[in-house]
Structure formats: structure tokens, C-alpha cells
Amino acid sequence: MGDVSGKRPTITHVIFDMDGLLLDTEKFYTEVQETILARFNKTFDWSLKAKMMGMKAIEAARVFVEETGISDSLSAEDFLVERESMLQSLFPTSELMPGASRLIEHLHAKGVPICLATEATGGILS
């Protein structure tokens, strides 16, 4: 129903997910996964990407190697190690998502504590 007084609620803290929200990194995941599959003459398509979305990394990796039929050549764990290595070389080139800088500067100017949560480091950065 919302606040009938017309006052906006006070924002006391903000937790951001870094990948795909603050930094434009999603394209790197697709690029790396396409590169890995190209070695096996396979392609990475939207239907596979959709199946992997929202899963924990190891679960998505299992789907990736099983659905593409490369599980005999590459385990889910080895896929994650290889993908992470490739991503680490690409992440420094990532750009901020539109509006991210302005939002962060605004929150900082208002003294709102900011925290980054990301699966990429296995936890929370602050």
C-alpha cells in the first residue's frame, strides 16, 4: 500500500551486485564461454545461457558442460577454473553501466554506506 504520508523512506545502506549492475561484465561471461566451446566446435546460444541464469557458479557450470556435451573432455570444476582465469584478464577492461557513476557519487555525497556483493570473489566487498 505504501506510505500514505507522502514521505519517501530514508535509505540507510545500499548493497550492490557488481557484475552486470555496476560494471558491464555480462558480455565477458558470454565471450569466454563462446571461446571455450569453440575449441570443441560447439556454440553458446541463448537457450543455454537462459538455463544457467540465476544458478550458483558450480550448478551453472554443470549445466554448461552437460548440455553442450563436453563433460567427457572438461569437468564443471575445470571449466570454472579456466573461465575464471580468462575473466580475470577481461574484467579490468570493463566499463561502468550507464548511470552507475552518478548514483555512486550521489550516495557518497549523502553519506550512505555502500557495499559490493559479488559471487566473483565468493562474498562481500566493502
Catalytic residues, by residue number, are 17, 19
108 Cβ contact partners less than 8 Å away, ≥ 6 residues apart: 114
Cα gap 110→113, rounded to integer Å: 9
Cα gap 109→86, rounded to integer Å: 36
Cα gap 76→34, rounded to integer Å: 15
Cα gap 61→70, rounded to integer Å: 11
What is the distance in angstroms between the CA of the first residue and the CA of the last residue of the chain? 33
Helix (H) or strand (E) holding 76: helix 76-90
